[in-house]
Amino acid sequence: MRFVKQLLAIVAVALVGGQCAAAVEGSFLLTLVIGAATAVLGVVVYRWVVRRTERREPTELDRDGWGRKAGRGTLLGFAMFAAVIANIAFLGGYHVDGWGSPAGALGLLGFMAAAAVTEELLFRGVLFRIIEERTGTWIALALTGVVFGAMHLVNPDATLWGATAIAIEAGFMLAACYAATRNLWVPIGLHFGWNFAAGSIFSVAVSGNGESEGLLEASTSGPVALSGGAFGPEGSLYTVLAGVVLTVVFLWLARRRGHIVPRRGRHTAQAPATATVTP
């Protein structure tokens, strides 16, 4: 029952925020404000519903040092995507044609914040955390990663390969990040930094959602295996490789710190929830 209540609460925030953003499409300032408000509301609702359904403080979303943790995740996500773009550009698959839209980049900032917060609360804060209590870390990581990738099949330019790539490079990686840190702020920052770099700075398609109006006017070309095609660089083999490397690193950290929950290790799932590990 607590699983359903938490799930519905976060989904409701995401849907309301998405509808409001759609209603003001074209107004970058309102998109920024609505996106930021959705992100804040998501955190408030998550903390409230966890207190009510689990009778505990949501230490995985604590207020202590939240900015530092989210900031480190953001820097890591930004650096990871910048490295991917640099590799694609080196082989001629990414081209900058000039300056794009600073206002568009600002509006995407709010949209990306809302997406990062609500998706991490839903997939890592609710789904992964609760499934892990019952099945252990490995099964929870596999299941939630696949579901996370499948969710992207509804995007306008989605492909089966694109969804598979998202499952590997993001679904598995972000779950591993949570397992390593036992804190939601780091994967939230990682998710945000990645999406912000993709849409707001490098102006490429994000997860098959069409072209982005970001800071740069840019385009991609070449084989889908290199550029990701219409799905965007997240469909590139470079991105998959980068995600796999970080997943392995996070899982190594999780095992080293005793954060791996064995199958049916329900009573140990909460132990490291307040860890403040730097990824």
Taking only the tens place, the pLDDT of each residue in 128-174 is: 999 999 999 999 999 999 999 999 999 988 899 999 999 999 999 99
Share of the chain above pLDDT 70, in %: 95
- Taken in order 153, 174, 1, 35, is the CA torsion positive or negative? negative
**Number of C-beta neighbours around residue 79 at 10 A:** 13
- Given a cut of 50, whether residue 275 has pLDDT beyond it is no
Instruction: Give Cβ neighbours of residue 220 (< 8 Å, ≥ 6 apart).
Output: 88, 93, 94, 95, 204, 205, 227, 228, 229, 232, 233
Helix (H, G, I), strand (E, B) or coil at 58: coil
Q: Is 203 helix (H, G, I), strand (E, B) or coil?
A: coil
Handedness of CA 158, 198, 177, 182 (dihedral sign): negative
Confidence of residue 277 (pLDDT cuts 50, 70, 90): very low
Burial of 53 (0-12, 13-18, 19+ CB in 10 A): middle
- CA 86 to CA 100: how far, in whole Å? 19
Q: Has residue 45 got a pLDDT over 50?
A: yes
Name the pLDDT band for 270 (thresholds 50, 70, 90): very low
Question: Would you state the structure tokens that stand for residue 64, as one six-digit string?
Answer: 């202590």
pLDDT band at 278; cut points 50, 70, 90: very low
CA distances from 86 to 91, 96, 202, 214 (A): 9, 12, 11, 17
DSSP classification of residue 261: P
pLDDT at 265 over 50: no
Q: Which residues pair with 127 in a beta bridge?
A: none
pTM over cut 0.85:
yes
Token readout for 95 is: 């081209």
Select the more confidently predicted residue: 19 or 191.
191
For the segment 95-132, what is each residue's pLDDT rounded down to a tens digit?
A: 999 998 888 888 889 989 999 999 999 999 999 999 99
Q: What is the pLDDT of residue 263?
A: 84
pLDDT score recorded for residue 162 = 93
**Nearest Cα to Cα of residue 276 among 129, 76, 69:** 69
